[in-house]
Copies of this chain bind each other. A is one copy, B any other.
Amino acid sequence: MTWQLTVDDLDDLARGATLLGTGGGGDPYIGRLMVQRAIEQNGSITIMDPDELPDEITVIPTAQMGAPTVIMERIPAGTEPVDALRALEKYTGRIAEATMPIECGGINSMIPLLVGAQTGLPVVDADGMGRAFPELQMETFNVYGVQGSPLAIADEVGHSFIVDTADDTPKMEWLARGATIRLGGAAHIAEYTMTGRQAKDTAVPRTITLALKAGRALRQARESHGDVISILSAALNDTLYNKVVPLFEGKVVDVERTTDRGFTLGHALFTADDGGELRITFQNENLVAVRDGQIVAGVPDLICVLEADTAEPITTERLRFGQRVRVIGISTPDMMRTPEALNVFGPSCFGLDHEFVPVEDSAVR
C-alpha cells in the first residue's frame, strides 16, 4: 500500500533506522531535522509500495556515504542529495521518477525522504541492504544483477563527480570512497539507476515501514517499561525480520575506534555481572558478536546494542564506558542469506573466517 509520511512519523522512523543501522549507518539525527523542515515546507512524502511500482519507471536511489564518525560532526547544506541525483541524470540521460534508500539503517533512511520532499518524487518503500552496510557493492541490487555504476557524488558547494566503472561495482565503491575521503570524509551520492521492475526484483521490500514499526515498538517498550524483546518480537512478527534473539546484558568496558580508509573501524567489549563477556567487531556497522569465545551473531544478521533503561539503540560512535546495555540479534530476510548474497556481504567479505550461521540457530548454542 502506498502511503503518506508526515512529520509525526519521523521520531519513530529515526529510532527504528538507528536500530537497523546495527551500530552504524550514520546517526540519523541531522537528517531527520532536514526532512522535518522539508516536509513543513513542501508537504508530506509519498511512500510507494514496491508492489505498486510500474515496471518501466526509472528509480534512482540516493544516499550519503562516509564514516559515521565524520557524518555525525559534519552538517550538510541539504542540497547535496538532489545535486547528486541531477548530476547522474545529466550524465545518463535517464530522469528519475522515484527515489529509494540504498540502506534502511541510519542516516540513509532519511536522505531519500529529503529528496522526496524537495523534489516531489515518490520514495520506494524498500532498500538495497535490508540494514546498513559499509560499502556500496554490498547491496541486494548488486547481488541480484543491477549495476551500481555510474554513480554521482555531490558535495556541499555543488561540485560533483561521476564514477563510471561499467559492471565493476566493487571498483565503483573503491573510487567513490577515495573521492569521499578527499571531500572530507562524507558526501552524497546517487547510484544503481534501475527500472521499477528491477526494484521489485532486487530490493528488500517494505523496510521504511519496517523501521517505523521497530522504532514504534522501542518507544512503546520504553514508555510501558515492558520487556523490549517481547514487544519488538510482536511488532516484527509479520515482517521478514521475525526472529528477535537476546544475545547479552551487561555494560561497556572498552571501545576501540579509529577512522581509517574512510571507515570507522574497531571493536567494543561488554561484561555481564556474572563475568561473561561479549565482543563486537565493527566496520561502520557491527559485523560479528562473540560471547565467551563463541560467535553468536554475524553479518548479514543484525547485531543491535540498546541502552538497558530506555531501549534506545546506541550507535558505535555513541558507546561510552560504563553504559548498561542489552544486545540483541535480529534475523534478516531469506534473500539476504542466499549463497549469492553471502558472497557479497557475508562474513568472508569483511575478512572474517567463519561461516554464516543464522542468529536464531547460533544464539541457542
Cα separation A162 to B88 with both chains bound (whole Å): 11
Whether the Cβ atoms of B159 and A162 lie closer than 8 Å is: no
Nearest Cβ in chain B — how far from A171, in angstroms?
A: 7
Cα separation A90 to B174 with both chains bound (whole Å): 23
Chain B residue contacts of A183, Cβ below 8 A = 175
> Is A36 an interface position by the 8 A CB rule?
no
Interface string of A153-186 (1 = CB under 8 A from B): 0000111111111101001001101110111000
Q: Give the 4 A-B residue pairs with the shortest CB-CB distance, closest first.
A: A162-B162, A178-B182, A159-B165, A160-B164
Whether the Cβ atoms of A161 and B159 lie closer than 8 Å is: no
> Is A91 an interface position by the 8 A CB rule?
yes
Chain B residue contacts of A179, Cβ below 8 A = 175, 178-179
Q: Which of B157, B161, B174, B182 is in CB contact (< 8 Å) with A162?
A: B161
Cα separation A183 to B157 with both chains bound (whole Å): 26
Chain A residues 295 to 328 lying within 8 A of chain B, measured CB to CB, are none
Q: Which residues of A contact B (CB under 8 A)?
A: 87, 90-91, 157-166, 168, 171, 174-175, 177-179, 181-183
Chain B residue contacts of A175, Cβ below 8 A = 159, 161, 179, 182-183
Copies in the complex: 2
Whether the Cβ atoms of B166 and A158 lie closer than 8 Å is: yes
Chain B residue contacts of A87, Cβ below 8 A = 164
Nearest Cβ in chain B — how far from A90, in angstroms?
A: 8
Cα separation A238 to B161 with both chains bound (whole Å): 44
Whether the Cβ atoms of B161 and A163 lie closer than 8 Å is: yes
Cα separation A181 to B178 with both chains bound (whole Å): 9
Whether the Cβ atoms of A161 and B158 lie closer than 8 Å is: no
Q: Closest B-chain residue to A93, C-beta based?
A: B90
- Could you list some 9 contacts between A and B, CB below 8 A? A87-B164, A157-B168, A159-B164, A159-B171, A162-B164, A177-B182, A178-B178, A178-B181, A178-B182
Cα separation A32 to B165 with both chains bound (whole Å): 28
Cα separation A158 to B167 with both chains bound (whole Å): 11
Q: Name the residue in A87, A158, A175, A181 with the highest tally of chain B Cβ atoms < 10 Å from its Cβ.
A: A175
Cα separation A165 to B177 with both chains bound (whole Å): 18
Chain B residue contacts of A166, Cβ below 8 A = 158-159
- Beyond contacts A161-B175, A177-B182: 14 other A-B pairs, Cβ-Cβ < 8 A, are A91-B91, A157-B168, A159-B166, A159-B175, A160-B162, A160-B164, A161-B161, A161-B162, A161-B163, A162-B164, A174-B182, A175-B182, A178-B179, A178-B182
Chain B residue contacts of A171, Cβ below 8 A = 159
Whether the Cβ atoms of A164 and B161 lie closer than 8 Å is: yes
Q: Closest B-chain residue to A161, C-beta based?
A: B163
Whether the Cβ atoms of B162 and A91 lie closer than 8 Å is: yes
Nearest Cβ in chain B — how far from A290, in angstroms?
A: 33
Chain B residue contacts of A182, Cβ below 8 A = 174-175, 177-178
